[in-house]
Amino acid sequence: MTRDQLLAASCRHLTEAATQQQLMDALAILSEWSCVDGQLQRQFQFTDYHHTMAFVNAVADIADREDHHPEMVVGYNRCTVRYSTHSVNQGSGGLSHNDFICAAKIDQIPSHRV
């Protein structure tokens, strides 16, 4: 798996969680993301609330296009994005390829928008 492959992919309905090896491969590509409590997570910093909300709206656009929505914790000048896939592992949740796809696409949000 490469960053270009993640960017070219689209989310699809999944029922199987990513393997540990797939997670390690994804984290090597998505170097600013980490796995915290079974979720793929990254914190973004901004200069002010306006830039934070512009980023949140850009993430929302990606989430709607991919039909895969993260949890976001928003503060004045920061946003933590957390991904997991609730439909994997018979509904108990976990990480999937969809989480990696969306993380890669979020990393591509132009810096002038954030």
Q: Quote the pTM value.
A: 0.91
Residues of the domain holding 39: 3-113
Q: Which residue type is seen at 48?
A: D
pLDDT tens digit string along 77-96? Answer: 999 999 998 877 655 568 99
Q: How many domains does the chain have?
A: 1
Report the CATH number that the domain containing residue 59 is assigned in CATH.
3.30.1360.20
Rg (alpha carbons) of the chain, rounded to whole number: 14
Q: How many CA atoms lie within 13 A of 43 on its CB side?
A: 8
Nearest to 83 by CA among 28, 25, 29, 23: 23
* pLDDT number for residue 90: 56
